[in-house]
Amino acid sequence: MKHIFFYTLLTVGGLLIADKGHSQTEQHTSGTPGIVIVPALEKPGDGHRSEKKDMAGYLLVYFKDQTQSAYLAISRDGYVFTDVNGGEPVFDGTLLAEQKGVRDPHITRGPDGAFYLAMTDLHIFGQRAGHRTTQWERPQEEYGWGNNRAIVLMKSYDLIHWTHSDFRVDKAFPELGDIGCSWAPQTIYDETEGRMMVYFTIRVGNGDCHMYYSYTDDAFTKLETRPERLFEGAGIDGDISRAGGKYHLFYVSDAKIFHAASDKINKGYISDSQRIDPEKVSTEAPNVFKRLGTDTWVLMYDVYGARPNNMGFSETTDFVSYKDLGHFNEGVMKTTNFTGPKHGAVIHITLDELKTIAEYWKVDINLDL
């Protein structure tokens, strides 16, 4: 294994301890790189913030069912992606989550230049892995499949040093009722509120799943406002992007991907009521990113009904018509050193950030276009 996860808690033996404000890259005793969990981040100067014109590459975060952990991959052109850790986890679910597993990672960049990573705290094979004695944390007949109550929130300025919080939604907001799940958290900056907004799926008991939103503290350690309904219809796995003066919400209903649009970031979404993805099998986890230097947007999604599972891709310029690009390694989208990615997200990074990641993780990648 090329990478071993770093953690800061004194109670975790054999792993790195990072002091508050530590700014140097840490190395494990084996000499391999890893991320560092820190109690707080030292905010860089204003020069750290990057503009859209500075973006020159892509960063993909994804997870795998086999490990219940999250991974990072990079790309110069947005077509060919290389895992930074040789296909091994970067974010170890056993160390980050109450259920000893993470799923559904999403990453975005805030106006402060920081990276915001949110994940579901859930291990769907927890019994088999020896983390619990029952199939689920609570009875399925009362709380449904994959029941959980926490989300993982992490923040970084350099993609190496991260703060970490495992946030229990039910304890913070008991007025929501006896929630059956808190899934697939994603983050976007709300310009009107001037705050980072987390939106995610909540199921009360074993009822229908609905998408909610809440605003976080600046440190990205907790939700500060009571979660409110984002979209009136039932659905999961929401993904919001702003394009053409509209907010575009892609979401999942009945294992199919749909699109809705609104003038507001947190309300008023009207659905097109037609399936967007071209698949014949079950899909989930839509994520939209823009091709740099173009007016083209890419819809990425998890084709979990395929065997083996894979990511699917479609392109659009108007959010009305879509061109099917196929799956990873079955069309123009490629991976070089990993297979079976699930439920991911792609963001833009600068060339300097791309070079830094490649050098730190010792990734052999062509940075020329």
DSSP string of 35-87, one letter each residue: -EE-SS--PPPGGG---GGGEEEEEEEEEETTTTEEEEEEESSSSEEEETTTT
User: What pLDDT score was predicted for residue 103?
Assistant: 98
In the predicted model, is pLDDT for residue 10 greater than 80?
no
- What's the rounded Cα separation, in Å, for the pair 59 and 37? 20
Q: Are 57 and 350 in contact (CB under 8 A)?
A: yes
pLDDT band at 45 (very low <50, low <70, confident <90, very high): confident
- What's the rounded Cα separation, in Å, for the pair 326 and 305? 14
The rounded percent of the chain whose pLDDT value lies above 70 is 91
| Residue 341 counted as domain residue | yes
pLDDT tens profile 271-325: 998 999 999 999 999 999 999 999 999 999 999 999 999 999 999 999 999 999 9
| Residue 296 counted as domain residue | yes
Which residues, 6 or more positions from 211, have their beta carbon under 8 angstroms from its beta carbon?
A: 199, 200, 201, 202, 229, 230, 231, 235, 236, 238, 251
- What's the rounded Cα separation, in Å, for the pair 249 and 231? 9
Q: Are strands 36-37 and 246-253 parallel, antiparallel or unpaired?
A: unpaired
- What's the rounded Cα separation, in Å, for the pair 360 and 257? 37
- What's the rounded Cα separation, in Å, for the pair 146 and 125? 10
Q: Which residues pair with 264 in a beta bridge?
A: none
Alpha-carbon dihedral 124, 129, 133, 137, rounded to 10 degrees: -20
Q: Are 288 and 276 in contact (CB under 8 A)?
A: no
Q: Are 42 and 51 in contact (CB under 8 A)?
A: no
| Residue 191 counted as domain residue | yes
Q: Which residues pair with 209 in a beta bridge?
A: 203
User: What pLDDT score was predicted for residue 368?
Assistant: 84
| Residue 214 counted as domain residue | yes
| Residue 106 counted as domain residue | yes
CATH code of 301's domain: 2.115.10.20
| Residue 132 counted as domain residue | yes
Q: Which amino acid is at 81?
A: F
Encoded tokens for 235: 């659905």
Domain holding 316, by residue range, is 36-361
Alpha-carbon dihedral 286, 93, 25, 161, rounded to 10 degrees: 60
Q: What is the 3-state secondary structure (H, E, C) of 266-305?
A: CCCCEECCCCCCCCCCCCEEEEEEECCCCCCEEEEEEECC
Q: What is the 3-state secondary structure (H, E, C) of 138-163?
A: CCHHHHCCCCCCEEEEEEECCCCEEE
End-to-end CA separation in angstroms for the chain: 31
**pTM of the shown model:** 0.93
pLDDT tens profile 22-44: 332 333 333 457 999 999 999 88
| Residue 368 counted as domain residue | no
Encoded tokens for 10: 């004194």
- What's the rounded Cα separation, in Å, for the pair 259 and 277? 10
Which helix H or strand E contains 343, and what residues bound it?
strand 342-350
When divided into structural domains, the chain yields a total of: 1
pLDDT tens profile 216-274: 999 999 999 999 999 999 999 999 999 999 999 999 999 999 999 999 999 999 999 89
pLDDT tens profile 106-121: 999 999 999 999 999 9
Q: Which amino acid is at 136?
A: W
Q: Phi/psi class of residue 48: alpha, beta or left (left: φ > 0; alpha: ψ in -120 to 50)?
A: alpha
| Residue 31 counted as domain residue | no
pLDDT tens profile 74-133: 999 999 999 999 999 999 999 999 999 999 999 999 999 999 999 999 999 999 999 999
Q: Are strands 161-168 and 36-37 parallel, antiparallel or unpaired?
A: parallel
